[in-house]
Amino acid sequence: MTTTTITGARIFDGERRTEHTAVRLADGRVDAVGDDTLRRPGDEHVDARGGTLLPGLIDAHVHLLPGAPRQALTFGVTTVLDMFSKPDTVREALAAGPGGADVRSSSVGATAPGGHPSMMYAPFPTVTGPQDAERFVAGRLAEGATHLKVLYDDGTGGPMPMPSPDVPTIAALTEAAHAAGVVVAAHVSTARAAMDLLPTGVDVLAHVPFDALAPRQVDAIAAAGVAVISTLSIADGFPGFSLLDEPALVARLGPAWCAVLERQAQRWLPPQLPDFAVARENARLLHAAGVPVLAGTDAPNPGTVHGASLHRELGHLVGAGFSPSAALTAATARPADAFGLADRGRIRPGLRADLVLVDGRPDEEITTTQRLRAVWKQGVRADLASYVGSADEGAGLAALRAQTEKVIAAVRDRLGITL
C-alpha cells in the first residue's frame, strides 16, 4: 500500500483547528501527525498549501440506493450510517469494495404493519408488540445490522395517519438491542414523540422535531444524554431551498442527478408544508443545551443526494446558529462517538486514514467544504470522477425512480388525489 505524506495543510482534527501542518498515512491508518519532517523517502507527497485537511465526513442518516456509497465518497463522505434499507441493498453496498464510503446499517427498521415507511419499502418484517422485540433484533443482526432503527410515528407530523409501534414495544426493542450491544436510533418527527421515547433509553433521535421544542423539552433531551440527527437538508426538497443553488456541488453532480432534482422541485406537495425555521431553531436550542447534534441528510429524500447533501447540511447547521467548527464536528467526531466508531471521526495516529482535503478554511467559512481537492479512504486516494456516468449511477437512478413510483401510487390510493 502506498505511504502518503500530506504537508502544508491547515488541520481540523474533528473537534478543533490544530497547530499541525502534516499527516503521514501508512497501512490504511494515520501513521503520524506533525510537520513537514514526517515525510520519508519514497512517500507519495501531497502539497496541501492553501487547503484544510478534515477527517472523512460521516453522514449520520441515509437510505441506501445502489451505488450510493460510491457517490458519497466522491463528495468526501467516507462513512454513511444507513437508517433503513432492505437486506439485499445492504448486502450489495457492503460487497461494493473500497471504491465507496464505508457502510454501517440498521437493515430493516422496526415499525408496525403498515407503518412508516411501508409505502416505499413494503414488504418487510414488522413488530406488533413487545413480544416481537428479541426476534426482530436477532433478525436484523443476522442481516449484518450494526445498529437498530425504530420508528415511532403515527403521522401526526405529516399529511396522513399511520400505524406505529407503541412505547412499550419501543422499550422492549431498545432493551433487546442494548443486550446485543448495539445503538438504537429512533425516528421521531414531533416534540411529543421525542418526549415519549426518552424513558425507553433510545440512544439517538433521528430528526430534529418539526414542531417547536419547549425549554423543558430541550432540557429533558439534554438530561437524557441522547444525540439528535439534524436532517435539516429535508428542506431542500421544498420551495425556497435547493441543492442546485450550490455551483461547486452541481459541477460534481452530473446532468442526470441535476435533472432529478429539477423534476423533484416540480412534484406535488401537500397544502401544509413543514416550517423549517422551527426545525433550525430546535437544532440551535439543542446544540446550545449541550446535546450532541449529528449531521445527517436523510438522502435520497426529494431534493437530497448522497454525499452532496451533507455539504448542504453543514450550511443549514451554520444557518441555524452553529459555528463552522461545530458544524464540522457534527459531521465527524460527534457521529463517530454516538455510534461507537472509535476508529474514525478524528485525525489522530492509529485511526483510519479517512481524510478530506478542501481549498480554503471551512472552520471559518463552511461553504469551502464544497471545494474538494482530494479524498482518502483508508489511505487510498479516491477517484472523484468515478461515479458520474457509471453503471452505479444508472442503477441508483433506476432504483430511485422505482421507489418514487411506488410512493406516488400509494399516496394516490390513500388520499384519492391525482399527483
For 374-388, write each residue's pLDDT tens digit. 999 999 999 999 999
CA gap 86, 82 in Å, rounded = 10
Q: Give the pTM.
A: 0.97
Contacts of 296 (CB under 8 A, 6+ apart): 59, 60, 61, 62, 81, 83, 206, 229, 230, 231, 313, 335
DSSP letter, residue 257:
H
Give pLDDT tens digits along the chain (419 positions).
789 999 999 999 999 999 999 999 999 999 999 999 999 999 999 999 999 999 999 999 999 999 999 999 999 999 999 999 999 999 999 888 789 999 999 999 999 999 999 988 999 999 999 999 999 999 999 999 999 999 999 877 666 789 999 999 999 999 999 999 999 999 999 999 999 999 999 999 999 999 999 999 999 999 999 999 999 999 999 999 999 999 999 999 999 999 999 999 998 888 888 889 999 999 999 999 999 999 999 999 999 999 999 999 999 999 999 999 999 999 999 999 999 999 999 999 999 999 999 999 999 999 999 999 999 999 999 999 999 999 999 999 999 999 998 888 877 776 665 55
- Answer for the pair 232, 283: CB distance below 8 angstroms, yes or no: yes
For 45-94, write each residue's pLDDT tens digit. 999 999 999 999 999 999 999 999 999 999 999 999 999 999 999 999 98
Helix (H) / strand (E) element for 41: namely none
First to last CA, the chain: 53
